[in-house]
């Protein structure tokens, strides 16, 4: 049986919460679909973008039950769902001047038995936690990540770079968007973490691992990760979604 728990918090500084998460359990809880989004845009536009993207992503997947049962097709189904989310957000932004330019990150997954397929746009992340190790699955679509890849700056320097929040890919700002796809083999007891940068900008990978190791209960782990981000300043919305197989 797949277990999951999600939590989102406005944080200490922000007036609104533009993060969101959603999930869907299928096939007697043997298949889990989940998504985390971090919206951006003026007024309530960021909230609109993230909610539209998450809703569209899950609806598109739920409309493809045969593809979700086929390990050879589920990856493309995830990419299609992310593209559909991009199209809906982009159209909404074009049709409402108050929402012009809005966008959102998106990291989504389909988990079935010992296999997870993950799709990503932006800098919301997916992690794989197994035994005493944590591994970032996704790659941030950000300016500083590109600079690190080129050798222009170090990982440590990126943490304080003035352009660390500039993204190179976002759902909704263009008519089409490239999506990264990942496949992860899981063992019994492994966990996946989907989260926004409100967590990872403040809490290190090692701190995430230590909190998850310290709590056997998913809700306790999720709550403590959010609490830790708030204790370190809570300068952004914080969202975590944990899955254990």
The pTM of the whole model exceeds 0.85? yes
- What whole-number distance in Å separates Cα of residue 168 and Cα of residue 19? 19
* Unique residue bearing structure tokens 């970032």: 136
Q: Which residues contact 166 (CB under 8 A, 6 or more apart)?
A: 142, 143, 144
Q: Which residues contact 28 (CB under 8 A, 6 or more apart)?
A: none
- What pLDDT, in 10s, does the model give residues 164-193? 778 999 999 999 999 999 999 999 999 999
Mean pLDDT of 20-35: 92
Asked whether residue 48 carries a pLDDT value surpassing 90, the answer given is yes
Asked whether residue 46 carries a pLDDT value surpassing 70, the answer given is yes
- What whole-number distance in Å separates Cα of residue 201 and Cα of residue 220? 21
- Which CATH number covers residue 119? 3.60.40.10
- How sure is the predictor about 152, in pLDDT bands with cuts at 50, 70 and 90? confident
Asked whether residue 233 carries a pLDDT value surpassing 70, the answer given is yes
Mean pLDDT of 66-85: 96
- Predicted local distance difference test score (pLDDT) of residue 39: 97
Phi/psi class of residue 189: alpha, beta or left (left: φ > 0; alpha: ψ in -120 to 50)?
left
Domain that holds residue 230: 3-244
- Predicted local distance difference test score (pLDDT) of residue 97: 87
- What whole-number distance in Å separates Cα of residue 229 and Cα of residue 167? 21
> For 18-22, 28-32, 101-105, 178-182, which range has the lowest pLDDT when averaged over its residues?
28-32
What is the number of domains present in the chain? 1
Asked whether residue 42 carries a pLDDT value surpassing 70, the answer given is no
Please give the backbone phi and psi of residue 36, each rounded to the nearest 5 degrees, phi first: -130, 135
CB 50 within 8 A of CB 108: no
Q: What is the mean pLDDT of the chain?
A: 94
- Predicted local distance difference test score (pLDDT) of residue 88: 98
More confident residue, 224 or 26: 224
């Amino acid at each position: 049986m797949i277990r999951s728990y999600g939590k989102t918090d406005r944080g200490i500084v922000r007036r609104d919460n533009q993060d969101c998460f959603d999930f869907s359990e299928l096939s007697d809880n043997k298949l889990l679909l989940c998504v985390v989004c971090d919206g951006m845009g003026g007024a309530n536009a960021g909230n609109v973008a993230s909610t539209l993207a998450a809703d569209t992503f899950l609806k598109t997947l739920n409309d493809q039950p045969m593809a979700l049962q086929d390990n050879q097709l589920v990856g493309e189904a995830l990419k299609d769902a992310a593209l559909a989310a991009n199209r809906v957000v982009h159209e909404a932004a074009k049709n409402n001047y108050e929402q012009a330019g809005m966008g959102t990150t998106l990291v989504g997954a389909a988990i079935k038995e010992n296999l997870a397929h993950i799709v990503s746009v932006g800098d919301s992340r997916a992690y794989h936690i197994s035994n005493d190790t944590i591994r970032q699955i996704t790659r941030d679509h950000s300016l500083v990540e590109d600079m690190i890849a080129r050798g222009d700056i170090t990982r440590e320097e990126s943490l304080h770079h003035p352009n660390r929040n500039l993204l190179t890919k976002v759902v909704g700002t263009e008519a089409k968007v490239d999506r990264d796809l990942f496949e992860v083999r899981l063992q019994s007891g492994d966990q996946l973490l989907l989260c926004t940068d409100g967590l990872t900008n403040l809490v290190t990978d090692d701190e995430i691992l230590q909190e998850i190791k310290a709590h056997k209960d998913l809700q306790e782990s999720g709550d403590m990760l959010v609490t830790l981000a708030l204790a370190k300043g809570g300068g952004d919305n914080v969202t975590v979604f944990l899955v254990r197989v």
